[in-house]
């Protein structure tokens, strides 16, 4: 078959087509390689979330041979934070003495009379004694409090054709739960076991059964709801205390409510926490809500003027535009994003940009640790942050901007950089006031007891029960934050709350106003 030469395509045109196809396929191959790397990174990240350690401690060995995913070829050298640590003397090891406020039972171990005579025939004289202490425990003991009220009447008036003799009897003391068998001590015990020791009511039901008393979980649940309703005035005062502070920390976590009108039993609801950031008078308020919308925080804050610290959840974005409010961010969440990059790299990870970011963040926390260790005054902390912390943050900000232009945005590193940049205006707020900490850990630590309890009792039965749990958590955690022993405090307020009438009476029952040692000694004596 003869093909005319003039009909054949030009060699240059063929070359151009081949080159275009080659460039196209090389581009597609590069995209596929990048996508493959991204998918592998996501797989490692998911494996870490499912099976890896939850610790966010940076591995000690950061020496590498190869750069991590999407990292720059020559990472800049970041000097580690240098924090001066004052020398300290090692404490002498030994057993700690037992608390002096605990009751003592003396057990005498004396020599027999025949051994109190010396070999010479003289009687031995007692010159001293040796005392050693053991810690003992008395198992829970159930007792019945019998309230006996004698009745009095006039015998001279018997038989008179009027209303008869007047019978006089002493009034029954007002109880926290009227016409109930529960005493303040038992009520405090049940609530402490559930909300402090995370012991569900059905387990307490079995515990009481072993002690020979039948108390159903439904009964104890009703006690908790009624006690919460009686303590509502205290909750209102605690909320007012939070709104009167300069700093409020906010956080939330999930909770499941089985029976809620208009919602499926598997629906997710939320337990919110609002905490006063002032360490001199900490106060915590928990609130149950079926939603995570920012309107919950907006309603609680009202016309609040001050600093509000949160995580990066979008529901808090309204705080950026709220008049009189400064919205502070959380450096712990920024650090967590970069830690995810390192964890996703696995055992054969390499040092790179994520390590650089963590090194700069560690410098900030090193300064704060030094300030806490030396118990610096607020003015000294403000000076330290202005002179040392601010330059570090400016360097970090420039580093983020530079890396953002060179890092794929869909990878973990790109997401970490974007998160830090999007939160930057909030992250720098802690430099303005020494009362603000770099992170929102106070709120996260406050929500943790609820999370631990949720792992045991799993869910709330009704919204009313969830609201009662929120109120009781508010009282207990506020008491703990103010160094009050929970059982002693609950017993104290359950004894005195029924007799409270004035605002001063209720304020005297707040955790920062009670005599902590006195109420603890009274609770111990009551048990004895």
Name the one residue in this structure whose structure tokens are 């307490």. Answer: 204
Residue bearing tokens 């020599």: 111
Query: What was the pLDDT predicted at 278?
Result: 85
Long-range contacts of 510-519 (CB under 8 A, 24+ apart): 510/234, 510/237, 510/238, 510/241, 511/478, 511/479, 511/481, 511/482, 511/484, 512/281, 512/482, 514/484, 514/489, 516/483, 516/484, 516/485, 516/488, 517/101, 519/484, 519/485, 519/488, 519/489, 519/491, 519/492
Q: What is the pLDDT of residue 412?
A: 86
- Enter the tokens of residue 306: 């001050």
- Poorest-confidence range of 117-126, 219-228, 293-302? 117-126
Distance (Å, rounded) from C-alpha 451 to C-alpha 273? 12
What residues have CB less than 8 Å from 73, skipping those under 6 apart? 67
Q: What is the pLDDT of residues 170-205, one digit of tens each?
A: 988 889 998 899 999 999 999 999 999 999 999 999
Report, as an integer, the average pLDDT of 229-255.
96
Q: pTM to 2 decimals?
A: 0.79
Overall residue count recorded for the chain in this entry: 528
Q: 474 or 100: which carries more pLDDT confidence? A: 474
Q: CA torsion sign, 451 to 457 to 463 to 468? A: negative
Tell me the percentage of the chain whose pLDDT exceeds 70.
83
Is it the case that residue 82 has pLDDT exceeding 60? no
Average the pLDDT over 141-161 and give the result: 81
124-133, 234-243, 269-278: the lowest-pLDDT one: 124-133
Q: How far is CA 242 from CA 7, 249, 262, 380, 474, in A?
A: 88, 10, 33, 26, 12
Query: What span, in angstroms and rounded, lies between the C-alpha atoms of 446 and 482?
Result: 13
């Amino acid at each position: 078959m003869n093909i005319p030469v003039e009909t054949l395509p030009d060699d240059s045109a063929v070359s151009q087509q081949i080159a275009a196809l080659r460039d196209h396929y090389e581009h597609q191959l590069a995209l596929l390689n990048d996508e493959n790397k991204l998918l592998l990174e996501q797989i490692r990240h998911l494996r870490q979330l499912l099976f890896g350690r939850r610790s966010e401690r940076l591995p000690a060995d950061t020496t590498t041979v190869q750069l991590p995913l999407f990292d720059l070829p020559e990472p800049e050298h970041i000097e580690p934070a240098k924090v001066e640590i004052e020398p300290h003397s090692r404490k002498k090891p030994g057993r700690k003495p037992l608390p002096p406020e605990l009751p003592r039972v003396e057990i005498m171990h004396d020599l027999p009379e025949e051994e109190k005579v010396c070999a010479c025939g003289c009687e031995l004289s007692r010159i001293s004694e040796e005392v050693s202490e053991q810690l003992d425990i008395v198992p829970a003991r159930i007792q019945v409090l019998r309230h006996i009220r004698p009745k009095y009447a006039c015998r001279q008036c018997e038989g008179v054709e009027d209303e008869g003799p007047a019978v006089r009897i002493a009034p029954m003391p007002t109880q926290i739960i009227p016409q109930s068998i529960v005493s303040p001590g038992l009520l405090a015990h049940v609530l402490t076991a559930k909300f402090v020791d995370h012991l569900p009511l059905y387990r307490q039901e079995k515990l009481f059964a072993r002690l020979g008393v039948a108390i159903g979980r439904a009964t104890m649940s009703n006690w908790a709801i009624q006690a919460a309703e009686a303590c509502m005035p205290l909750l209102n005062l605690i909320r007012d205390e939070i709104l009167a502070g300069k700093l409020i920390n906010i956080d939330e976590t999930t909770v499941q409510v089985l029976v809620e009108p208009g919602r499926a039993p598997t629906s997710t609801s939320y337990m919110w926490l609002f905490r006063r950031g002032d360490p001199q008078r900490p106060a915590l308020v928990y609130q149950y809500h079926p939603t995570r919308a920012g309107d919950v925080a907006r309603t609680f804050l009202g016309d609040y003027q001050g600093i509000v610290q949160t995580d990066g959840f979008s529901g808090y974005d309204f705080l950026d535009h709220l008049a009189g409010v400064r919205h502070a961010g959380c450096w712990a969440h920024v650090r967590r994003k970069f830690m995810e990059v390192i964890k996703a790299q696995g055992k054969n990870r390499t040092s790179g940009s994520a390590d650089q970011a963590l090194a700069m963040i560690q410098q900030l926390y090193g300064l704060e640790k030094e300030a806490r260790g030396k118990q610096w005054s607020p003015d000294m902390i403000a000076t330290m942050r202005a002179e040392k912390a601010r330059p570090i943050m400016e360097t970090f900000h420039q580093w983020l901007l530079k890396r953002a232009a060179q890092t794929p945005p869909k990878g973990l590193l790109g997401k970490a950089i974007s998160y830090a940049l999007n939160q930057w205006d909030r992250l720098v707020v802690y430099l303005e006031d020494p009362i603000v900490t770099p992170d929102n850990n106070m709120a996260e630590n406050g929500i943790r007891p609820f999370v631990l309890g949720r792992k045991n009792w799993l869910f709330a039965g009704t919204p009313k029960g969830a609201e009662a749990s929120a109120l009781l958590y508010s009282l207990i955690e506020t008491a703990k934050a103010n160094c009050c022993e929970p059982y002693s405090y609950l017993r104290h307020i359950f004894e005195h709350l029924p007799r409270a009438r004035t605002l001063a009476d209720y304020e005297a029952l707040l955790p920062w106003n009670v005599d902590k040692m006195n109420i603890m000694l009274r609770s111990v004596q009551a048990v004895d």
